[in-house]
Structure 1
């Protein structure tokens, strides 16, 4: 993420902390190794953010971290509500693909 991104590293850390537990637990059950699962959870989180296009990533973080509605995100980003809904759908689909990639 570029340094001019409006969401700070602390906010991204908050998102990581909120979702790291379930992801690490799921990976631990799949791999049978807690240490390996922790490494994989961090790598998965970084891959998710890296693979999202900037606007999709920003909409996802605004929804997840700030709790903004689609209408509020649309106003903030200067796009339509339908565009935000599509962007969030893309982000959630990416989460799903990462979580269930090995199933």
Structure 2
């Protein structure tokens, strides 16, 4: 941020002196933390100083409190949106299972199983395979699968029945 001209610094200084206590008092109950209120209040004045044509904007302001409150409200929304996103991310991380070391033998068994599943599912048509995976892996209802695929619920029922029939035949052939 470049150094503002002396006239702008004087305008902002006057608004700050006249309204910073009011703004902090306005923010405090909305964010429930005096430190956050102080940070947001400072961010408001940084925003005022760094705005394009800041001097002209301040000159056009008739209600400084309304102007400051609008900026503060937008900063609060941004802050709470980021905080909600951060909490969701941390929750998703906390719900992840811990990494488990598996032996080379277990890794080989898993890889073979995945290859067998892939081969089994490759024998299904793409729409049947998608319906089967949505049902078995995502736990979707037949109605939702039908909406997803653009087919009726009856068609989804037929797809799933064909998939189970195919899996059963594949399993029986693999056992022999």
The TM-score normalised by the length of structure 2 is 0.35
Partner Cα separation in structure 2 for residue 81 and residue 59 of structure 1: 11
Segments ≥4 residues shifted beyond 3 Å: none
Q: Which residue of 2 aligns with 1:59?
A: 131
Partner Cα separation in structure 2 for residue 40 and residue 63 of structure 1: 23
**1:46 and 2:123 are equivalent in the alignment:** no
CA contact (8 A) 1:74 1:81 kept: yes
Q: Which residue of 1 aligns with 2:149?
A: 77
**1:87 and 2:164 are equivalent in the alignment:** no
**1:97 and 2:166 are equivalent in the alignment:** no
> Counterparts of 1:2-13 in structure 2 under 5 Å?
none
CA contact (8 A) 1:44 1:98 kept: no
What's the C-alpha RMSD, in Å, of the aligned pairs?
Answer: 2.1
Highest RCO, 1 vs 2 (Cα 8 Å, sep ≥ 6): 1
Aligned residue pairs total: 69
Listed as ranges, the gaps of 5+ residues in structure 1 are 1-33
Give the Å deviation of 1:43: 3.1
Partner Cα separation in structure 1 for residue 115 and residue 139 of structure 2: 25
Partner Cα separation in structure 2 for residue 59 and residue 76 of structure 1: 9
Listed as ranges, the gaps of 5+ residues in structure 2 are 1-104
Give the Å deviation of 1:93: 1.1
| Larger gyration radius, structure 1 or structure 2 | 2
Partner Cα separation in structure 2 for residue 62 and residue 51 of structure 1: 17
